[in-house]
Amino acid sequence: MNVFISPPFGTYLNLPNTNSIRGSFTLEPRKGLILQILKTLRYSNIHNGWINKIGLRNPGIDYALQKYGKDSIGEHNIISIAILQKSDVPIFLNKIPNNINLEINVSCPNAEKEMVDEDIHKFLNPERKWCIIKVSPHVNKNKLDEYYEKGFRQFHLSNTIPTPAGGLSGKSLIPYNENNIKYLRNKYPDTTIIGGGGIQTKEDVYMYKSYGVNHVSVSTLCFNPYKFLKFYMSIF
C-alpha cells in the first residue's frame, strides 16, 4: 500500500514511501493561487473539515512539465490535469509525453463535463505507470461504469464535496467514498483504488482498506505538520 499526497500539498512534498500528485494544472495559467487560498480557506467545525474555493489557480501545464516532468516518470510522482473543455484534449495530448504519469481530475465544476469525458480515454497509454481518474464524491455508478468501459483501471475517490462556499474536505467525504469504493471493488476486482478523505490516523487507513482500497491519499492533514508527521511515522 502506498500513501499518495494530493494537491496542493503533493506539489511541494516529496517524501520517501509516498507518491506526490502535483497540480491540478490547466492548459493555460490561472493566476492568484496564494491570494485565493488566503481569502477562501477556512475550517468548518460544523462539517469537521476544510473548505476552500481556490478555483484551479495554477501556473499551467507548460510550467508543470518543465518543473516536474522528469520526476513524473516511473513509480512515484504524478501530474494532475484539469480539462475544462473538449478542445483542451488534443493540446494536452500534444504537450504531455506518453510516459508522464497523470491524474485526470474529472470532478471540476467548471468543465464541459460530457464533452470532456468523451475523449479522456485518449490519455491511456501503456507507457504510463499511472493514469488515474479522480472523481467527485457525487459520481454516479453509471459514470464509474463508463470510465471502466473506456479502459480506466485506476480510480481516486474522491475530490471535495461541492458547496456554495467552496469544496469541503475531511470526514464528510467518508460515507460517499465508502459507497463508491465498495461498488468498484465488488464489480471490478481488477481496479486499483486510491481512497482519500478524512484520513488522519492509521486506524483511518485500516477503515479505508476494509472498504477495498489498494492505496490511500491525504491532503488537508498536511495543514497540521505535527499531525501529518505523526501519521507518516505510524504508517512507515
pTM of the model: 0.90
Neighbouring-strand partners of residue 156: 134, 194
Confidence (pLDDT) at 76: 87
Confidence (pLDDT) at 116: 62
Confidence (pLDDT) at 155: 98
Phi, psi of 176 (to 5 degrees): -65, -45
Q: Cα dist. 165→43, 47, 160, 162 in Å?
A: 12, 12, 12, 8
Could you tell me the strand order of the sheet in which 42-44 lies? 42-44, 49-52, 166-168, 161-163
DSSP state of 210: H
Q: Cα dist. 219→142, 195, 216, 225 in Å?
A: 28, 12, 11, 11
Residues recorded for the chain: 236
d(CA 20, CA 52): 21
Which domains, and CATH codes, for the chain? 3-235 (3.20.20.70)
* Residue that has been written with the C-alpha cell 460515507 in this structure: 175
Confidence (pLDDT) at 78: 97
The grid coordinates listed for 228 are: 501529518
DSSP state of 160: P
| Residue pLDDT tens, the chain, 236 long | 899 999 888 998 989 989 999 989 999 998 755 555 555 566 656 666 666 666 678 899 999 999 999 889 888 899 999 988 888 999 999 999 999 999 999 876 555 555 567 789 999 999 999 999 999 999 999 999 999 999 999 999 988 776 666 667 778 899 999 999 999 999 999 999 999 999 999 999 999 999 999 999 998 898 889 999 999 999 88
d(CA 92, CA 78): 15
